[in-house]
Amino acid sequence: MGVSVIVFALVQLVPGDPIRLALGTRFDQETYDALLERSGLDQPLVQQYFNWAGRALTGDLGVSFRSGETVTSLIAERLPATLTLAFASIVVALAIAIPLGTVSALRPRSLVDRFATVISQFGISVPDFWMAIVLILVFAGTLGWLPSGGYVPLSEDPLGWLQRLILPALVTGTVSGSVITRFVRSSVLEALGSDHVRTAQAKGLRTRQVFGWHVLRNALLPLVTVTGVQLAYLLSGVVVVEIVFSWPGLGQLALQAVQARDYPVLQGAILLFAVVFLVINLVVDVLYTAIDPRIRR
């Protein structure tokens, strides 16, 4: 509820007149008024909000000003691509972060640690579009191993799906992975220094056991939260990468909606991002309760 008000208000703050933009240059007052009335934009804002929220509750997010398609179908069309990229990126991110973060925590100030620090600093600070372009130039251009962009559904062409997924997932995965690497490093370091790990060592457990059950198990608890945050971000915020790779995801949809002042689509997309965030938070909470006995009652 609160979220929906904020979403609605935010979109209203976007400057520009959607109808004018929808009509383009062919513009006459009559069509304008007709469209205005049909879209409900002539009504007071509060009224508009309740109209929108009421319909949203029933799953009707309205109709795009631009294309005339329903917002729900527009979103549904984009959802698979976005989900695919987000989950692939998280897999890449964790595949980088867990080993790299762990090894650098085990050997602080070692070569590996320094390397990891540089890499994650790089991943955090280098703009993703730049990384995307470099990867395209190398792997799609020079080497010609992978396509430079696009998306095909898994069901149609599994190999093509994978080939097109690799580069964008690598870019977004590296960015998220860099953030998570630092996190893993510090939480493994903390776990390594904790009293209960010392107790485990004092029992004469094998290194593998100490590490798996006492260090990692505890260090990775908070990882659930960061991964959740990163996933939420990946599900909503990878506009630039989607554009560079012509990836037909929600980020692109939202961007186009902003450019066209297509309020219903924009509101729908943002509402979806908000819901995704809430759902991920919920999942994180549920996971936490499952893995951390201190939270269970």
N residues, the chain:
297
Q: What is the DSSP letter of 70?
A: B
For the CB of residue 295, give the shortest distance to other proteins in the complex, in Å. 10
For the CB of residue 287, give the shortest distance to other proteins in the complex, in Å. 13
Query: Which is closer to other proteins, CB of 20 or CB of 203?
Result: 203
Helix axes 263-291, 223-236, angle to 10 degrees: 170
Distance of alpha carbon 150 from the chain centroid: 18
Query: Which is closer to other proteins, CB of 47 or CB of 110?
Result: 110
For the CB of residue 180, give the shortest distance to other proteins in the complex, in Å. 20
Query: Which is closer to other proteins, CB of 12 or CB of 199?
Result: 199
Q: Which of these, 93, 114, 87, lies nearest to 103 by C-alpha position?
A: 114
For the CB of residue 218, give the shortest distance to other proteins in the complex, in Å. 6
Region of 126 on the Ramachandran plot (φ > 0 left; ψ -120 to 50 alpha; else beta): beta
Query: Which is closer to other proteins, CB of 127 or CB of 193?
Result: 193
**CA dist list (Å): 273 to 81, 119, 148, 222, 269:** 15, 30, 27, 23, 6
For the CB of residue 116, give the shortest distance to other proteins in the complex, in Å. 17
Query: Which is closer to other proteins, CB of 108 or CB of 127?
Result: 108
User: What does the binding site for other proteins look like in residue numbers (CB under 8 A)?
Assistant: 108-109, 193-207, 209, 213-214, 217-218, 221, 291-294
* In contact, 227 and 236? CB cutoff 8 Å: no
